[in-house]
Structure 1
Amino acid sequence: MTDIKVNYRRLQNSSVPTWLGLVIGSWFGLAWAGLLSAPAGIGFGITAATAVGGFIAVPLWGTVWGLIGLGKQRQSALRRHGITLLEADDPLAQRVYVLAAQLGLKTRPWVGVMPHNNAYAIGSGPDSALVVIGQPLIDTLDDAEVDAIIGHELGHIANNDMRRMGLARSFQNSLVWYLGFSNTLQRWARWLLTWLSEFLILSLSREREFWADAIGAALTSKEHMIAVLEKLHNSPPLGAFEREHARLMFRGIPGLLFSTHPTLRERRAALNSERYLKRIPIRRQQESLPLEPAVALPNVEDIAYAKR
């Protein structure tokens, strides 16, 4: 395997532009709620004072509770998603560590296995990230294809995609909380009041998949990434767990406006044209890099799960 190292520092991984977009989206939601409630004082009863207060409260709540939620996300997933954490000397964990080092990450993520035919990464950042691979993928794909999936999930970590998507949902929830909707009505209120944000978030989700595919291809090859996408496209339909967490998954809900992921055709075309792959900052070296534990890995003090 060629030693390909991604220049992590040059990745466009700042979540600040996304945060600013979410602030503007929350303001739009408040203005839209006020417009709906204006005729004869009906609707949601949004007064000018309520709307103005929300311009500060909703972004503040969305940011604070979003970051708190991200900090608890890994432990929550371990309790609820049927994940088995792997020891540091497990062969699959070692492969994740090597690919993480190639990507330039300074910490090793936690690594887990789940029973679902999918994969995902969660956490507030590289220091708290968890990479989860489905046992069916390990059993049916070859090593290079599993590495492509690992590279894709590490790409989400490197690009701060978990923080982007976590803040996006938190901002939407903060708006409906602020307007006093019950838990039962929050889902429908979110669509009614934050429809612009919802479409933008879904668009962001699809865009981040293209970038993660490109990083996975950079760490392996575009042929391996395409092969994985084609195989999973022909897999059984998504289960209830996968659909519930589709925005996190390697394989989500493809389609147009209401989809979390691009279609197979779009992802394959993006990889073949190298539209995103050409924009990944890569440093290449000539020597081979075997996927073995002896490859230069971070020191123990840099391991994420040593920082408990």
Structure 2
Amino acid sequence: MAETSINYRKLRNSSLPTWLGLVIGSWFGLAWGSLLSAPVGIGFGVAAGSAFGGFLAVPLWGTVWGLIGLGRQRESAVRQHGITLLTEDDPLAQRVYVLAARLGLKTRPWVGVMPHNNAYAIGANANSALVVVGQPLIDSLTEAEVDAIIGHELGHIANNDMRRIGLARSFQNSLVWYLGFSNTLQRWGRWLLTWLSELFVLRLSRKREYWADAIGATLTGKEHMIAALEKLHEGPELSDFERTHARLMFRGFARGSLLSTHPTLKERRAALQRETYLKRIPVMRAVEPPALSAPVATPKAEDIAYAKR
């Protein structure tokens, strides 16, 4: 049966505009930090001189360490996030591969399961990506709803979102490190010195969720995407793990404010119903499902984890 495919080449977003915005934000933070430092005895000349040196140092550190961190992100997540990696012949992994192929991705992502009621994607690029789905979702959602969530996370991979968010955090850390903030004070230092960048990153985080929802809806149908959103938002409160990594999650902080990592359920549902982003997804003509490198055996319903209900 023919299925809708997405033109990946027209979909992928460049990291360059985000990088330029982060460079400007870091310069603003340095200038702001020099003004805050002057009244407390550092002296405006010394503070300004320190800021001037940081105009090159902070973007350089942010870029280099950001790319290094992104390169290690997938392996670090597997070690630290309680993820169980699935084998290639696992039925859920096979569904991820099929949806990835329909999205135009040339490399199969790693696929893992975690104990949290959420999902996320991580990795430096499409060639080193990891898609993680929470076991509670697999146990409680329909197959189509799980596929919609998988499509959403694959959308983050195709849109280069992981690289953009990873660089954003690296730039902010580089600035607070450069200005001498300890690890304990980094969180508050980011808000004190990089509030402009923080608001920029939060806005980026919210907007990318709309695009990922639209990609998941294109691959599976917007009614399944909406149903998955509604069921997740009716679920338990975010765990400490989900709060810590809220920007990565399918469901995060959705307060309807500038400080939210995600749009509210109402906003995400309305965007799908109005097809605000959905109609802008570059869709190719319907094609037969792409063949994988190895034949995929059709499993019985009782062998599929998310069919055991």
Instruction: Give the TM-score of the pair, scaled to structure 2.
Output: 0.92
Matches of 2:287 and 2:163, distance apart in 1: 35
Matches of 2:263 and 2:44, distance apart in 1: 35
Identical-residue share of aligned pairs (%): 77
User: 3-state SS of the aligned residue for 1:82?
Assistant: coil
2:119 equivalent in structure 1:
119
Matched, 1:265 2:260: no
8 Å Cα contact 2:202-2:258 kept in structure 1 = yes
Matches of 1:43 and 1:264, distance apart in 2: 48
Matches of 1:116 and 1:187, distance apart in 2: 24
2:14 equivalent in structure 1:
14
1:35 equivalent in structure 2:
35
1:296 equivalent in structure 2:
291
Q: Give the superposition deviation at 1:284.
A: 2.4
8 Å Cα contact 1:253-1:261 kept in structure 2 = yes
Give the letter aligned to residue 292 of structure 2.
L
Relative distance call for 1:44 and 1:192 in structure 2 (3 A) is farther
Q: What do residues 35-75 of structure 1 show as CA deviations (whole Å, max 9, x unaligned)?
A: 11223634899522211110000000000000100111111
Give the letter aligned to residue 297 of structure 1.
L
Alignment of 1:1-308 (within 5 A): 2-39=2-39, 41-42=41-42, 47-255=47-255, 256-285=257-286, 289=289, 295-297=290-292
Matches of 1:278 and 1:6, distance apart in 2: 12
User: 3-state SS of the aligned residue for 2:248?
Assistant: coil
Q: Give the superposition deviation at 1:187.
A: 1.2
Q: Which moved more, 1:42-51 or 1:113-122?
A: 42-51
Matches of 1:155 and 1:88, distance apart in 2: 21
1:305 equivalent in structure 2:
none
User: 3-state SS of the aligned residue for 1:13?
Assistant: coil
Aligned residues: 294
Give the letter aligned to residue 195 of structure 1.
W
Give the letter aligned to residue 104 of structure 2.
G
8 Å Cα contact 2:35-2:47 kept in structure 1 = no
Matches of 1:257 and 1:44, distance apart in 2: 32
Give the letter aligned to residue 269 of structure 2.
R
Gaps of 5+ in 2: 295-309
Relative distance call for 1:96 and 1:43 in structure 2 (3 A) is farther
User: 3-state SS of the aligned residue for 1:121?
Assistant: strand
Matches of 2:202 and 2:194, distance apart in 1: 12
Matches of 1:274 and 1:78, distance apart in 2: 35
User: 3-state SS of the aligned residue for 2:50?
Assistant: helix
8 Å Cα contact 2:232-2:251 kept in structure 1 = yes
Give the letter aligned to residue 237 of structure 2.
P
Q: Give the superposition deviation at 1:297.
A: 2.4
Q: Give the superposition deviation at 1:181.
A: 1.1
Matches of 2:271 and 2:211, distance apart in 1: 10
Regions of 4+ moved over 4 Å: 42-46
8 Å Cα contact 1:33-1:46 kept in structure 2 = no
Q: What do residues 96-155 of structure 1 show as CA deviations (whole Å, max 9, x unaligned)?
A: 000000000000000000111100000000110000000110010010000000000000
8 Å Cα contact 1:29-1:175 kept in structure 2 = yes
User: 3-state SS of the aligned residue for 1:183?
Assistant: coil
Instruction: Give the TM-score of the pair, scaled to structure 1.
Output: 0.92
User: 3-state SS of the aligned residue for 1:38?
Assistant: helix
Matches of 2:283 and 2:118, distance apart in 1: 27
Relative distance call for 1:40 and 1:240 in structure 2 (3 A) is closer
Matches of 1:286 and 1:83, distance apart in 2: 34
Matches of 2:127 and 2:46, distance apart in 1: 41
Gaps of 5+ in 1: 290-294, 300-308
RMSD of aligned alpha carbons? 1.7
